[in-house]
Chains A and B, each alone.
Chain A
Amino acid sequence: MSTINLQDTPHIDNHDDHAHGHHHETFLTKYVFSQDHKMIAKQFLITGIIMAVIAMGLSILFRLQLAWPDKSFPILETFLGKWAEGGRIKPDFYLALVTIHGTIMVFFVLTAGLSGTFSNLLIPLQLGARDMASPFLNMLSYWFFFLACTIMMASFFIQTGPASAGWTVYPPLSALPTAIAGSGLGMTMWLISMVLFVASSLMGGINYVSTVLNMRTKGMDLWKMPLTIWAFFLTAILGILSFPVLVAGVVLLVFDRSVGTSFYLSDIVMGTQILPNEGGSPILWQHLFWFLGHPEVYIVIMPALGISSEVISVNSRKPIFGYHAMIYSLIGITLLSFIVWGHHMFVTGMNPLLGGVFMITTLIIAVPSAVKTFNYLATLWRGNIRFTPAMLFAIGLVSFFISGGLTGIFLGNASLDINLHDTYFVVAHFHLVMGSAAIFGMLAGVYHWFPRMFGKMMNAKLGYLHFWLTFITAYLVFFPLHFLGLDGVPRRYYAFTEFEFMQKWLTVNVFVTWSAIIAALAQVAFLFNFFYSIFKGKPAPQNPWEANTLEWTAPVEHLHGNWPGEIPTVYRWPYDYSKPGAAQDFIPQTVPFSQTMSSNLVHDFEGNTEAEQIQKDWELKNVPVVEKAE
């Protein structure tokens, strides 16, 4: 393992032998074009946070429109100009807001912001590697992502506005500029941005997989890896296998838009203008899109689940319950997620036979998810819970995962989906299960590993405030939306004014918008805490949460190569918390069994009879002595 390491990053060896920091890093190589995984992680995180704030702002804009469809907000015209003439958001711009909010949140925040940050930070640190398998690719991955973000945001500044066909950009709406203004240049930019984004994800993913497979430190076999790493590893595999399909779909859409092919278009008449396209099918796009799109929601949630497994275990001071079951359920989710995409298409006119098949696979995926939930609950049972802000967010994640997961049982059922498809019920469902849950996982990760990233502590009290406000308001925003859906209110409606039966939901909309505004303002507590603590936070101790994993053995001061001297060796699994017989309530992975004779269990030796014998001999010799002494 170390040989590979040496070949890939030979310059790192200098750090082993000499004091660190003696090769000169310029501002550019340290902060901008950095190849250090920790710096890249921070770049991903801060870009992700900025994008999240932007996307949240967009959501507040369209929530304003939904709550007060007849009211004028001149301040909007000041900022948005022609998109909000007279202080009222235009229907086209409303759709653009919805589209870009979804795109940013799903791809830029919850995929790149989450996986990019924590895979980059934790894979080398928790596995005991000096850096990623390919630091250069890693750097490219970030800059492709950055470019993707820039292009997406730039589409707000063009004449025809950003893409506005929904984040799923179903053709023909997304293919025909005559169908909606946003499908002009804005859509082209969306597609370019997405190609760059997928390139970024792939470079990241390949890097994560190869690092996990090749660069684990001595003793770190797959079954000793923390659940975070398992989650990132499987997420990366999922991404590598599904993202290229999206690119294929995107390229075909580009052809349809620019070259005049007919992959997705057929028999279309805009007004009385008959288009020449023949033989294509809009359903094809949906198959290609959701072949990525469904794994994508697991790409979003699995890292969050991995992070919460780690955080819950550390802060309950208990081993995660059912470590193996947790991994098998992650693997189960990974495999199943490839054969459930059709549940997004029950009512698209796809062959009803397929609807039945996809319903079966979809509901099966609820089983591993249920196992994970029960294991979290069992981990909390008889724990010694420390409510750090990270722990609060992890518990919040479990709550959202349950609430949102259960509504998935409705939507995964093809016959129920008939009436719920494309209604607010869907909006409520995925905002809980993959929106709120994933963002809570991400925030748990930020609070937990902030000391590792910046060497400073975040303010816990502001963290509590942030958690409680966000947790409560997230439920206030999304819980009532289920009922709109059950009443048959479709999503992506610019205003509820045109239908009589929707009038009764206007007050609910006002309530939801106020809750969303409070939720958004609550994030100021986080943003302030985050940026303030980077510079002015209390210096972090070596192992602030008394955790077992390897990253807490690396020095607080960052250095390229992570550990001065030798990389630590791993002897045990990462969840030896509150082991009976041990002096402390945690035993780091680097502590050999020979130093913890009083707490070793037969199970620890995994059938190594020699070690078992040594343990038995020791117990024979020592246990009576202990009894005498007492």
Chain B
Amino acid sequence: MKVHRTTFKKMSLKNIIITKATAVLTVIFTVFSSMSVFAQEVGATASAAPAKAVDMEPIYKSTLFYVLLFLLLCLFIGIIGKALKVYELTRETQGKPEGINWNKINGVLFAAFLVVGLYGVYWEYTVHGNMLLPEAASEHGKRIDEMFNITLIITTIVFIVTHIILFTFAYIYKSTGNRKAYYYPHNNALERIWTVIPALVLTVLVLMGFLTWRSIFHKVQDPNNQPLSIEVTSSQFQWDFRYPGADGVIGVKNYKKITSINALGIDFNDKNSLDDQLADELVIPVNKPVRFVLTSKDVLHSFYMPHFRVQLNTVPGMTSYFEFTPTITSDEMKIKTNDPSFKYILLCAKICGTNHYNMQKTVRVVSQEEYNAWVVKQTTYLTNDLRKAFNLPIPIEPVAVPATADTTATKITEQTNQLAFKK
């Protein structure tokens, strides 16, 4: 009986080896044939390519090199597989217990993965975790960061504890073949505990998040500290800023009035529009609330200033508002980050087309005095061409454009100074 079994096994082994050998041969054959196909294709394209650029040959070669490398690797893995197979089959024919205990290997791998993974997480937190945005440069941003840190601590604890449990269970309870699992279909008390605890933790997070959210979007206006309004118009692929000018009010605009000289469609029949200024960069005074009036000309964009923890989409046909108070000037931030080239930036975070990846503006946070000095230098939107278009009287001295700008500028300084005094 025993003899019979072994001969049977040997026969099957022989069969297996033969079929495997043919399989390997076919694999090798297909590998080489496909290589030659690749070579031909590449050769063909390479011969066509020189017409455009001569130095493409090595790159084609490198592609081929990587393909060959991969095929070699496949072959290598295949050979290892065969070797394992042969080893296991010989063990089997010799009547010894199964050669390789894959269950154990996988269990150990999980344990190893846990250790290496935890180190990897530590490495990520300390190395990449140190490459992140500097501290929030706005009042509400600090609250967001606090919220973030609390969430991060809670989730990191859960993340690490559950993973330790998961992988150590996988390691400890791997089947050894001589144990029966513990029949344990449910435990209502346990289930209640792990329903209630996450619920409580989440309630805390929800409440904190809710209050933070409200404090960001439900601002109570302080009559003594009126926000500075700045209108932002996004379009493919640029940002346009409109400062309110001396009167502190942004004039009306209407997209139907957009022409090549009136890119934003400002309605200059509205008196508030007359002194509105355009600016090339976003300059805002520190510790003063700024209210951004966000509009879009064409598609959706997203007004995103990560350093201030500010983001809101700009939507065509709808005006949205984001009000916040910057707390750190650009110069202070340069010192804090120890980076003399530090810049606050504005970027677009909502896919908006071809140049979505490059829709940026520099943002500068400056002291109130610097802001006052800067803002008077900005030109108004209203030009003589626009005056003509809107049938507005053209100023009496049309000799030189800078002169006009100067007169308005001085007017603005006076008024802004007055505003500053009021505060």
Contacts and interface: CB of A to CB of B under 8 A. Distances in A.
Contacts of B218: 352
Interface in A159-186: 165-166, 170, 172-173, 176, 179-180
B103 A386 contact: yes
Given A274-B256, A318-B182, A490-B304, A377 B162 contact: yes
B185 A402 contact: no
Interface stretch (A38-46, A247-255, A278-286): A278-286
A504 B74 contact: no
A95 B103 contact: no
A398 B166 contact: yes
Q: Which 9 A-B pairs have the closest CB atoms?
A: A488-B306, A266-B317, A349-B320, A352-B217, A387-B106, A382-B182, A483-B128, A578-B181, A384-B181
A282 B317 CA distance: 8
A382 B184 contact: yes
B217 A355 contact: yes
Contacts of A156: none
Interface of A: 72-75, 78, 87, 91-92, 95, 165-166, 170, 172-173, 176, 179-180, 265-270, 272, 274, 279-283, 316-325, 347-349, 352, 355-356, 359-360, 363-364, 366-367, 370-371, 373-375, 377-378, 380-387, 392, 395, 398-399, 402-403, 406-407, 409-410, 413-416, 418-419, 421-423, 459-462, 464-465, 468, 471-472, 475, 479-480, 483, 486-488, 490-496, 498-501, 504-505, 508, 521, 524-525, 536, 575, 577-580, 585
16 contacts: A74-B49, A91-B356, A173-B299, A173-B351, A176-B299, A267-B316, A317-B175, A317-B181, A374-B191, A381-B184, A383-B173, A409-B155, A410-B151, A413-B205, A422-B304, A422-B311
A576 to B, nearest CB: 8
Nearest to B301: A173
Contact of A349 (B165, B236, B313, B356): B313
Contacts of A419: 141, 144, 306, 309-311
B326 to A, nearest CB: 15
A500 to B, nearest CB: 7
B179 interface: yes
Contact of B356 (A382, A385, A479, A493): A493
Contact of A272 (B110, B258, B343): B258
Interface in B233-262: 235-236, 255-256, 258-260
Interface stretch (B206-214, B396-404, B406-414): B206-214
Given A364-B202, A494-B357, A577-B183, A402 B313 contact: no
A347 B312 contact: yes
Contacts of B363: none
Contacts of B107: 385, 387
Interface string B45-86: 100010001001001100100000010001001000100100
Nearest to B62: A75
A200 to B, nearest CB: 27
Contacts of B354: 91-92, 95, 180
A421 B311 contact: yes
A480 B125 CA distance: 10
Contacts of B202: 363-364, 366-367, 409
A266 B318 CA distance: 9
Contacts of B298: 172, 176, 179, 268-270
Given A316-B173, A419-B144, A472-B113, A579 B183 contact: yes
B216 interface: yes
Given A319-B184, A422-B349, A492-B351, A384 B173 contact: yes
B349 A423 contact: yes
Given A74-B59, A324-B186, A179 B181 contact: no
Nearest to A465: B77
Given A272-B260, A325-B195, A352-B216, 6 more contacts: A172-B298, A265-B317, A347-B302, A347-B313, A422-B350, A460-B102
Interface residues of B, number: 121
Given A268-B297, A364-B202, A380-B166, A359 B182 contact: no
A170 B355 CA distance: 17
Contacts of A406: 155, 158-159
B421 interface: no
Contacts of A373: 162
Contacts of A415: 143-144, 147, 209, 212-213, 216
Interface in B336-355: 341, 343, 345, 347-355
Contacts of B148: 410, 416
Contacts of B105: 464
A503 to B, nearest CB: 11
B205 A272 contact: no
B170 interface: yes
A507 B174 CA distance: 39
A490 B304 CA distance: 9
A352 B213 contact: yes
Nearest to B352: A173
A543 to B, nearest CB: 17
Contacts of B106: 387, 392, 464
A282 B209 contact: no
Contacts of B170: 380, 385, 387, 395
A270 B315 CA distance: 14
Contacts of A392: 106
Contacts of B133: 486-488
A283 B316 CA distance: 10
A506 to B, nearest CB: 12
Given A359-B213, A367-B199, A483-B129, A490 B348 contact: yes
A384 B180 contact: yes
Contacts of A398: 166
A170 B300 contact: yes
Nearest to A508: B128
Contacts of B314: 349
Interface string B4-45: 000000000000000000010000000000000000000001
Contacts of B335: none
A403 B120 CA distance: 14
A148 B186 CA distance: 44
B132 interface: yes
Given A74-B49, A402-B163, A422-B350, A319 B102 contact: no
Contact of B81 (A322, A461, A524): A461
B282 to A, nearest CB: 16
Nearest to A481: B128
Contacts of A270: 298
A205 B37 CA distance: 45
A171 B59 CA distance: 40
A465 B259 CA distance: 63
A75 B63 contact: yes
A508 B258 CA distance: 44
Interface string B156-178: 00110011011001100111000
Contacts of B162: 373, 377, 402
A421 B349 contact: yes
Nearest to A495: B357
B132 A487 contact: yes
Given A355-B217, A479-B120, A267 B209 contact: no
Contacts of A416: 144, 147-148, 151, 209
A170 B350 CA distance: 10
Contact of A91 (B103, B155, B348, B355): B355
B124 interface: yes
Nearest to A329: B195
A540 to B, nearest CB: 17
B3 interface: no
B206 A363 contact: yes
Contact of B258 (A274, A385, A461, A580): A274
Contacts of B120: 475, 479
B220 interface: no
Interface string B365-403: 000000000000000000000000000000000000000
Contacts of B154: 409
